[in-house]
Amino acid sequence: MTASRRNGLSGNRLNIVADENIPGLENWFADLGEITLAPGRSLNKSQLMEADILLVRSVTQVDAALLQGTSVRFVGSCTIGTDHLDTGWLNDQGIHWSAAPGCNANSVVEYVFCVLAALNVNWSGRSFGIVGCGNVGGLLQQRLHALDVSCKVFDPWLPDNPDAASLETVLQQDIICLHAPLVKGGPHPSLHLLDADALAKIKPGAVLISAGRGAVIDNRALLALLTRERNFTTVLDVWENEPDIPLGLLEKVDLGSPHIAGYSHDGKLAGTRMIREALDRALHLSPPQPDDAAVAGQRGAQQVLSSDESGFSAVRSLLLQMYDPRQDDRRLRDVALRALSGGEPMAKSFDQLRKQYPKRLEFSHYRLVAENLDDAVRQQLAILGLV
């Protein structure tokens, strides 16, 4: 008996519709039936009428308008957030759903340290403020503790965090990292959490890194502030109104990227695997046994060559050899200039940058080949995941 018959779904095989940008689909879902790929941002109901399973990323709004009257019985989002899923409606309809919390947490944390390397900001002796201490913020907090770096955390959902502090206190730290999900209602909304008043509390010389959800910052207020004065460094990976991002704000920030902080190859594959595991639990299926080396991972497949520098300069050089976010910044600014000159619309280019994003491996894929590094540098690199 096939999986679909065991679980009361129509036909002998499952019909799967998936965002074309989800990697590893063949490895993790081909055993279940036919996979139809589609652009995630333009998915519509007509494509889902006969579908049993819908697999998306964060660009697809999944709600009654998309699914009412279709045969979809499981929705899997291969991303960490759920603000694009109408989970209440899905629950009312008896449609199983799952996201992949934590799948790309390590990727985002590595992004943060590489951003600081690109900015030539040494984190030793600095204080961090973390807004949102879930999977990503929590992992960043762990790394900072291991590096003996001070941090304060604002997360009203986690009042017992040992580093808990007020938002005002967090915004007074040297490096502020935003990793909060987008919450529009309830007791602790995060929509425009950093409004004009909050942004004004960031101290001069600080670094602000936003790599959670774009609307946690009021982008209009940030643009107005940066137009008046640029007394702190601003790094935005996420934006309001993606993919049609505010080009005026891009012009003012120090580093910008097209929502790719969590876009490591490892993180994407982990999200696909986690959704297959959730599907198996929901529909009582048997898991596949993928043997693709790309899914299993190849540790030590790459090498990082040593620099002739020492201390933070050596750490910085090695991190940027693995991933340099300034390249993402250049690509984003290039397409913005073309859009302003009457070329491809920014929204389309933004999505293309994400779709065609270069394969980025996490630090654990690399092997340090160096004999001249001191123990302190080696320890930092080991904490960050480079072996």
Rounded to an integer, what is the distance from CA 226 to the centroid of its chain?
25
Angle at 20 between CA 15 and CA 22, to 5 degrees: 95
| Residue 375 to residues 32, 310, 370, Cα–Cα distance (Å) | 50, 11, 12
- For 218, the token pair is 């009021």
Catalytic residue among 242, 316, 354, 360: 242
Give, for 249, the enclosing helix (H) or strand (E).
Answer: helix 247-252
Beta strands 233-236 and 74-77: pairing type? unpaired
242 carries an active-site annotation:
yes
> End-to-end alpha-carbon separation of the chain, Å?
47
Residue 32, C-beta contacts closer than 8 angstroms, at least 6 positions apart: 3, 4, 13, 14, 16, 53, 285
Catalytic residue status for 20: no
**Quick one: how far is CA 265 from the chain centroid?**
12
234 annotated as ligand-binding: no
Catalytically annotated residue among 143, 259, 316, 360: 259
52 labelled binding-site residue: no
- Residue 237 annotated as lining a ligand binding site: yes
- Are the CB atoms for 261 and 111 separated by under 8 Å? yes
Tell me whether residue 76 is annotated as binding. Answer: no
Query: What burial class does residue 283 get, using C-beta atoms within 10 Å of its C-beta: 0-12 exposed, 13-18 middle, 19+ buried?
Result: buried
Which pair of tokens denotes residue 347?
């929204």
* Strand-by-strand arrangement of the 207-210 sheet: 150-154, 127-131, 175-178, 207-210, 233-236, 255-256
Q: Which of 143, 213, 273, 354 is catalytic?
A: 213
What the block records as the tokens of 26 is: 């063949």
262 marked as binding residue: yes
The full DSSP string for 311-367 is HHHHHHHHHHHH--HHHHHHHHHHHHHHHHTTSS-HHHHHHHHHHTPPP---GGGEE
| Active-site annotation, residues | 213, 242, 259
Detail the residues annotated as belonging to a binding site for NAD(+).
Answer: 155, 237, 262
Detail the residues annotated as belonging to a binding site for substrate.
Answer: 58, 79, 263
Detail the residues annotated as belonging to a binding site.
Answer: 58, 79, 155, 237, 262-263
